[in-house]
A and B are shown apart, each in its own frame.
Chain A
Amino acid sequence: MEVSLLGIPVIAGYGVIPIREYWDKDVVSLAINAVQNLVKSTGLKDFDAIYVGNMLSKYYEEQASISVHLADELGLEDVYALDVECGDASGAYAVLEAIKDVLSGESKIVLAGGVEKSTDELPHRLYRGISLSEDIFLVDYIGLTNLVNHAIALKMYIRRYNVDKADITYLSVLDHENASKARHAYFRFPIKLDTALNSPPVADPLTLFDISPNIDGAAFLLITTDDIAKEYNLNYVKVLGYGYSVNRTRFYERFDPTTLTAAKRASQQAFKRAGINTSELDFIEIHDSTTIAGVLALESIGVHGSGTAAKYIRSGVHRLDGELPINTFGGLKARGNPLGATGAYAIAEGVMQILGEAGGNQVKDAKIGLIHSMNGFDLSSIVFILGGD
Chain B
Amino acid sequence: MTEISDWRYRIERYRLIGVRCRRCGSVYYPKRSKCIKCGSSDLEEVELPKRGRVVEYTIVRLLPDRYNRFHPYAVALIELDDGTRIYGQLTDVDLDKIHEGMEVEATLRKLYEYGESGQIVYGIKFRPVLSR
Q: List A residues at the B interface (Cβ < 8 Å).
A: 123-125, 127-128, 131, 135-145, 147-148, 151-152, 155-156, 200-206, 248, 250-253
Chain A residues, Cβ within 8 Å of B9: 137, 141
- Residue contact A140 to B59, C-beta cutoff 8 Å: no
- Residue contact A131 to B64, C-beta cutoff 8 Å: yes
- Residue contact B60 to A138, C-beta cutoff 8 Å: no
C-beta contact mask, B1-38 vs A, less than 8 Å → 1, else 0?
A: 10001100100110000000000000010100000100
C-beta contact mask, B43-73 vs A, less than 8 Å → 1, else 0?
A: 0000000000000111111111111100001
Quick one: which of A135, A143, A151, A250 contacts B64, CB cutoff 8 A? Answer: A143
Chain B residues, Cβ within 8 Å of A128: 64-66
Considering the complex, give the chain A residue whose CB is closest to the CB of B98.
A204
- Residue contact B67 to A135, C-beta cutoff 8 Å: no
- Residue contact A140 to B6, C-beta cutoff 8 Å: yes
Interface residue total, chain B, C-beta cutoff 8 A:
35
- Smallest beta-carbon distance A239→chain B, Å: 32
Q: Is the interface of A mostly helix, strand, loop or mixed?
A: helix
- Residue contact B58 to A204, C-beta cutoff 8 Å: yes
- Residue contact B59 to A156, C-beta cutoff 8 Å: no
User: With A and B bound together, what is the CA distance between A127 and B68 in angstroms?
Assistant: 10
- Smallest beta-carbon distance B63→chain A, Å: 6
- Residue contact B62 to A202, C-beta cutoff 8 Å: yes
Considering the complex, give the chain A residue whose CB is closest to the CB of B6.
A140
- Residue contact A148 to B75, C-beta cutoff 8 Å: yes
Would A138 and B56 be within 8 Å (CB), given that A128-B64, A145-B64, A152-B77 are in contact?
no
- Residue contact B112 to A148, C-beta cutoff 8 Å: no
User: With A and B bound together, what is the CA distance between A127 and B88 in angstroms?
Assistant: 19
What are 27 A-B contacts defined by CB distance under 8 Å?
A125-B65, A127-B64, A127-B65, A128-B65, A136-B5, A139-B1, A139-B64, A140-B121, A141-B123, A142-B125, A143-B60, A143-B66, A143-B73, A143-B89, A144-B87, A145-B60, A147-B58, A147-B60, A148-B58, A148-B60, A155-B56, A202-B62, A203-B59, A252-B85, A252-B87, A253-B28, A253-B36
Chain A residues, Cβ within 8 Å of B28: 253
- Smallest beta-carbon distance A296→chain B, Å: 15
- Smallest beta-carbon distance B29→chain A, Å: 9
Q: Of residues A143, A148, A251, which shows the largest number of chain B Cβ atoms within 10 Å of its Cβ?
A: A143
- Smallest beta-carbon distance A211→chain B, Å: 8
- Residue contact A140 to B85, C-beta cutoff 8 Å: no
User: With A and B bound together, what is the CA distance between A155 and B100 in angstroms?
Assistant: 11
Is B102 among interface residues, defined by CB-CB distance under 8 A? no
User: With A and B bound together, what is the CA distance between A141 and B3 in angstroms?
Assistant: 13
Would A203 and B58 be within 8 Å (CB), given that A124-B64, A124-B68 are in contact?
yes
10 shortest A-B CB distances, which residue pairs? A151-B58, A128-B64, A128-B65, A127-B64, A124-B68, A143-B67, A142-B89, A124-B65, A204-B59, A252-B85
